[in-house]
Structure 1
Amino acid sequence: MTLPVRLGTLSSPPKVPYREGQSIGVIPEGIDKNGKPHKLRLYSIASSAIGDFGDSKTVSLCVKRLVYTNDGGEIVKGVCSNFLCDLKPGDEAKITGPVGKEMLMPKDPNATIIMLGTGTGIAPFRSFLWKMFFEEHEDYKFNGLAWLFLGVPTSSSLLYKEEFEKMKEKNPDNFRLDFAVSREQTNEKGEKMYIQTRMAEYAEELWELLKKDNTFVYMCGLKGMEKGIDDIMVSLAAKDGIDWLEYKKQLKRSEQWNVEVY
Structure 2
Amino acid sequence: MLEISGIKAGYGSMAVLQGIDMRILAGEIVALLGSNGVGKTTLNNVISGFIRPTAGSISFEGETITGKKPRDIVGLGIAQVPEGRKIFPNLTVGENLELGAFRRASANKKHNFQRICAIFPRLNERLGQLAGTLSGGEQQMLAIGRGLMSEPKLLVLDEPSLGLSPIMVEEMFGLITKINAEGVAVLLVEQNVMQSLGVAQRAYVIEQGRFVMQGEAAELLADPQLRRAYLGL
Is TM > 0.5 for Structure 1 vs Structure 2?
A: no
Q: Structure 2 length as normaliser, TM-score?
A: 0.30
Greater Rg, structure 1 or structure 2?
Answer: 1
Larger relative contact order (Cα-Cα within 8 Å, sequence gap ≥ 6): 2
Q: Structure 1 length as normaliser, TM-score?
A: 0.28
Higher share in helix = 2
